[in-house]
Each structure stands twice: as structure tokens, then as C-alpha cells.
């Protein structure tokens, strides 16, 4: 089974790139983030034409998540347990489904903006809701392969940023954010680090200043999974080719191949 996560940065603007990638990469399950469209406006039909069921969760703002699957789509869950609000809105940042015997969550963790901004404390609260959801689901069926994948908006280590000195006063690398990742791992999940086919193992490059070509990137698109999932991982890699060319997302897909269940 091939499972991928991709911050698409507007599914309508990049629909052609998405469908081309689905045809070439042939993933079985795809978690998308940053749809930037409502649930009703999600382009389900052209995706269905390629053999994928889909569940989308979007409110038309800058967030929105989806799961595409050609191996089944069951037990769909929208939002986290007691997911916090921001500015009075429960943002569309999480959707879970069981696909081909694997439980998958597509998550788009809040950015945090600046360490002294209300969005930063919201981000940490959101991580708390994610941790509680993971704890509940893992305890109900610990043998089920389980992965929380998506744009975490946190670089786990200094090596996951092209120049840590430039981020000294920024979000994505602060200790409380990394502590939130550690707390998630303590619930029984492990980071599945992908290999880079070329260059450094980053998943995001800003559009400005030629960052992609200069290698100025970050690894913030993560696969966190339980032992039942990790034991089946045969490969994990970053598809940098999908970040190239006109009209690309500023993120690259992260792809994980799983062996058949024993």
C-alpha cells in the first residue's frame, strides 16, 4: 500500500497537478491539506474518475483537509476531540478515516504566526486536542496500523531547517512546539523520516527568493505512526519533482510504502 501526504496549497488552483500526480505516483491513500475551498466546492468528480473515493472537510478559508482512497474509506471522523476554536471558529484542520485496514488522519496544524500571537497558544492547544484524540483511538485498537500525517508546521529538530540561526525568534522551531511533538510521540507514535531522492530532506520551500533552488527548506510535513504501521514501512521518500515547475505547491508530497500485512 502506498500512502502519501501533501499540502496542496489550493486544490482548485492545483487540480491538474494533483490529478497528474495521482496518475504518475499511483498512491492508494492521499492526505491533503490547505484545500482553500469549502467541502461543497471540493473537486470530487475528477478525482473519482481516477478511482478514488474522497472525504473533504473545508470551510473556504486558508485551511481545509481531505483524504483520497482507492482501498476503501470507512469510519470517517471530522475534527478532533474537543478541538479548540480560533476567533470563534472550529477550523477545518483534521479528518480521519480507515482505508484498507489502516487508520489515517490528515492534519493541518495551525501555523502559530508569532510566539507572542494568540494563534501560537491556539496551536499548542490544538496539539493537545490531537494528543487526546490519538490516545483515545490507539487505546481502542492498538493493533490497528495508525498514522497521523500532514503539515505539522513544526520542524522536529534543528537539522530539519536549512539554517536554524535564521529561525531563532520564529515559530516552527520553538521548544514548546517541539515539546508538543514529543508529547504526541509519547502517546505511542514514532516519526517516520523520509529519504530525499535528491538534496536535503525538506518538504517545504518558500516561494520567495528562489528558496527551492537554493535548498532553503524545512521538514514540516510529517508521518507519525504507531508500531503496527512502522513495522510495515518498506520505504519513505519526498517527491521533490512535484515541487518543480510553474504553479507548484510550496510543499512536496511525502510518500510511504507499506508491505502487505503479515
Which tens digit of pLDDT belongs to each residue from 85-122? 999 999 999 999 999 999 999 999 999 999 999 999 99
Closest CA to 253 of 107, 157, 151: 151
Give dist(CA 152, CA 16) in Å, integer. 25
User: Residue ranges per domain, the chain?
Assistant: 2-258
Q: For the segment 22-79, what is each residue's pLDDT rounded down to a tens digit?
A: 999 999 999 999 999 999 999 999 999 999 999 999 998 789 999 999 999 999 999 9
Q: Can you give the pLDDT at residue 195?
A: 87
Predicted pLDDT of residue 230: 98
Mean pLDDT of 150-178: 94
127-159 CB burial, b ≥16 within 10 A, e <16: bbbbbebbeebbeeeeeebbbbbbbbbbbbeee
Q: Residue 155 above 90 pLDDT?
A: yes
Note the pLDDT tens digit of each residue in 189-202. 999 999 876 678 89
| pLDDT tens figures, 212-247 | 999 999 999 999 999 999 999 999 999 999 999 989
Distance (Å, whole) CA 51 – CA 167 = 42
Spatial separation of the C-alpha atoms in residues 85 and 177, rounded to whole Å: 18
Q: pLDDT: is 207 or 262 the higher one?
A: 207
Angle at 100 between CA 95 and CA 103, to 5 degrees: 35
State the average pLDDT for the chain: 96
Q: Cell digits for 51?
A: 478511482
Domain spanning 2-258, CATH class: alpha beta
Amino acid at each position: 500500500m502506498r500512502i502519501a501526504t501533501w499540502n496542496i496549497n489550493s486544490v482548485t488552483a492545483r487540480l491538474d497537478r494533483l490529478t497528474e500526480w495521482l496518475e504518475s505516483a499511483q498512491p492508494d491513500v492521499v492526505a491533503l491539506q490547505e484545500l482553500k475551498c469549502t467541502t461543497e466546492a471540493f473537486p470530487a468528480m475528477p478525482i473519482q474518475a481516477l478511482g478514488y473515493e474522497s472525504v473533504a472537510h473545508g470551510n473556504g478559508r486558508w485551511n481545509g483537509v481531505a483524504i483520497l482512497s482507492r482501498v476503501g474509506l470507512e469510519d470517517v471522523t471530522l475534527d478532533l476531540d474537543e478541538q479548540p476554536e480560533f476567533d470563534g471558529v472550529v477550523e477545518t484542520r483534521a479528518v480521519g478515516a480507515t482505508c484498507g485496514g489502516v487508520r489515517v488522519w490528515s492534519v493541518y496544524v495551525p501555523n502559530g504566526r508569532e510566539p507572542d500571537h494568540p494563534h501560537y497558544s491556539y496551536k499548542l492547544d490544538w496539539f493537545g486536542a490531537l494528543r487526546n484524540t490519538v490516545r483515545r483511538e490507539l487505546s481502542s485498537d492498538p493493533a490497528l496500523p495508525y498514522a497521523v500525517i500532514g503539515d505539522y508546521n513544526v520542524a522536529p529538530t534543528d537539522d530539519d531547517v536549512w539554517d536554524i540561526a535564521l529561525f531563532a525568534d520564529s515559530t516552527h522551531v520553538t521548544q514548546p512546539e517541539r515539546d508538543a511533538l514529543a508529547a504526541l510521540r509519547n502517546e505511542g507514535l514514532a516519526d517516520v523520516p523520509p529519504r530525499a531522492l535528491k538534496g536535503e530532506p525538506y518538504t517545504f520551500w518558500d516561494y520567495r527568493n528562489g528558496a527551492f533552488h537554493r535548498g532553503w527548506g524545512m521538514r514540516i510535513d510529517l508521518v507519525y505512526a504507531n508500531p503496527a504501521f512502522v513495522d510495515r514501512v518498506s520505504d519513505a521518500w519526498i517527491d521533490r519533482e512535484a515541487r518543480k515547475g510553474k504553479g507548484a505547491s510550496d510543499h512536496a508530497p511525502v510518500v510511504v510504502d507499506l508491505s502487505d500485512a503479515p
